Structure 1
Amino acid sequence: MKTTSTAPESSGGTVGTRERIVRAASQLMQRQGYDGTGIKQISLEASATLGSVYHFFPGGKQELAVAAIRHGDAEFGDALRVWLDSEADPAKGVTACAVGLAAGLRESGWLDGCPVTSTALGTASRAPDIQEAAAEAFARWRELVAVRLRDAGFAEEVAGELAHTVISTLEGAELAAQVSRSGVPLELAGRHLAQLIDLHR
C-alpha cells in the first residue's frame, strides 16, 4: 500500500517538519524495513536536519519507528474503511479490500507493502514499543472489519473470528503478491474470503 508523499501539500501551506519526518520514515521503512533505514536517510528524504529529527524524536530511530507505524496504521485504516464501505455486502467489501491492495502494489511497482509489518518484523523481540504499536494497529484493523460484519447482522463472536481471518489472510496475500509481483494472491484471497463470509450468514 502506497504511503503518503513526503512532499509539501498545496492546500493550506506546507506539511510541518515533524509530519514530513514521520511520513518519510513510514515510506522508507515500508520499503526497506527497520534495519535498512537510517536516521540520516530519513532526514534527507524529509528535507529536515538531523537536529530536527532528534528534536522531535529524542528516543532516536525506535521512537520514530513507533510514530511511523502509527502513521501507517491510520493511513491503512482509512483505506480499509473506504473499501469496506464501498459495498453494501460486507463480503464484497472485503473483496474490494483485496482489489485495492493489489492496485496499490501495482502502482508502486510492487514496492509498497504493509507499512506496519515491514517495520515490525525487523524488530521482533528487541523493540517492545514497536511490537506493541504494530499489535495495536492490527487490532484496530480487525475491529474495523468486525464492526462492518456486526452491522451486517453477524454475531459478535463470529464477526471477531472472521475479522481475524480477513486481516491475517490479506496481510499474507499482500506479501505473496509483492514477492511474486502479481496480484493473483490477493485476487484469490479476496474471492475465498468472500466465500467464507457467505458461509457464515
Structure 2
Amino acid sequence: MDTKSLIIEIATKLFQKKGYLGVGLNEILKECNISKGSLYHHFPNGKEQLLIACLQSLNAIIISDMKEIFQQHPTTQLATQTMIEKLADQYDRDGMITGYTFSSIVSEMGSLSEPVRNACALSFTKIQDIYTYKLEEDGFSEQTAQSLALMMTATIEGGIMLCLTKNTSEPLRTISKGLPQLLKNE
C-alpha cells in the first residue's frame, strides 16, 4: 500500500472512532508512522483536505457495497432489508458501524467547512441515487422514488445514530422490519 492510501485508511478509522475534532495531526502521524512533511506532501492543505479524501474513500466503499447488494436482490424491499441487517450485524459484531454514516462528520464539521459539507452531501446524493434507481425499477414514478429515497436515507442514517447512542443494534433491526413494508408498490 502506498503512503497516501495508508494515511487515508488510518485517518478514516481514527475520524470514525473519535471524530474530526477528536483526532490531532500528531496522532495521525504517530499511527501512520510518518513525518509531518510526508503528510503535507500528500495533503498540502492539511487535516481538512485529508478528511475530504477519507470521505471520498468511504463513499467509494459504501457505493460499491450498496450497488452489489441492490444488484443481487430483485426488489428494493429485499435489498434494503439485506443492507440494514448487514449494518445491524456489523454493529453487533464490532460495537460500531464503520463507513456507513456521514452524519457525525456533518454535524461536527458541516457548519465549519463548506468543502466537507459538500463532500458529505455528494455522498448522500449518491446513496439516494441507488435507492431511486431501484425504486424506479420496482415501478415507482421518478418523483415518488426520489421522495422515498430521501426518506430511506434519513431513516437509515437516523437508525445508525440511534444504534450508536443506545448501544444496541435494535433500532436498525426495527427499521429492517418496518421500512420494507413502506416500499410496497401496489
TM-score range, shorter chain: over 0.9
- Give the TM-score taking structure 2 as reference length: 0.93
1:60 maps to which of 46, 59, 66: 46
1:101 maps to which of 80, 83, 87: 87
Name the aligned partner's letter for residue 26 of structure 1.
T
Aligned residue pairs, count: 186
Q: Counterpart of 2:44 in 1: which secondary structure? A: coil
- Give the TM-score taking structure 1 as reference length: 0.86
The equivalences for 1:51-200 within 5 A come to 51-110=37-96, 112=98, 114-198=100-184, 200=185
- Of the structure 1 ranges 152-161 and 43-52, higher mean CA displacement relative to structure 2 is found in 43-52
Closer, same or farther: CA 186–23 of 1 in aligned 2, 3 Å:
same
What is the aligned partner in structure 1 of residue 34 from structure 2?
A: 48
Name the aligned partner's letter for residue 52 of structure 2.
V
What is the aligned partner in structure 2 of residue 32 from structure 1?
A: 18
Name the aligned partner's letter for residue 39 of structure 2.
V
Closer, same or farther: CA 117–45 of 1 in aligned 2, 3 Å:
farther
Name the aligned partner's letter for residue 82 of structure 2.
A
Distance 1:80 1:171 in 2: 14
Give how far 1:71 is off: 1.0
Question: Can you give the 5+ residue segments of structure 1 that lack an aligned partner in the other structure?
Answer: 1-14
Partners of 1:26 and 1:115 within 8 A in 2: no
- Of the structure 1 ranges 105-114 and 90-99, higher mean CA displacement relative to structure 2 is found in 105-114
Superposition RMSD in Å: 1.6
Closer, same or farther: CA 111–73 of 1 in aligned 2, 3 Å:
closer
Name the aligned partner's letter for residue 149 of structure 2.
A
Could you list the structure 1 runs, at least 4 aligned residues long, displaced by more than 4 angstroms after superposition: none
Give how far 1:153 is off: 2.0
Any idea what the Cα deviations from partners look like across 1:69-99, whole Å, max 9, x if unmatched? 1111111112222222332121111111110
Name the aligned partner's letter for residue 158 of structure 1.
T
Distance 2:86 2:71 in 1: 13
Any idea what the Cα deviations from partners look like across 1:50-75, whole Å, max 9, x if unmatched? 21111111111111111111111111
Name the aligned partner's letter for residue 170 of structure 2.
V
Any idea what the Cα deviations from partners look like across 1:1-23, whole Å, max 9, x if unmatched? xxxxxxxxxxxxxx111011111
Q: Going by fraction, where is helix more abundant, 1 or 2?
A: 2
Question: Can you give the 5+ residue segments of structure 2 that lack an aligned partner in the other structure?
Answer: none
Distance 1:76 1:100 in 2: 12
Give how far 1:134 is off: 0.3
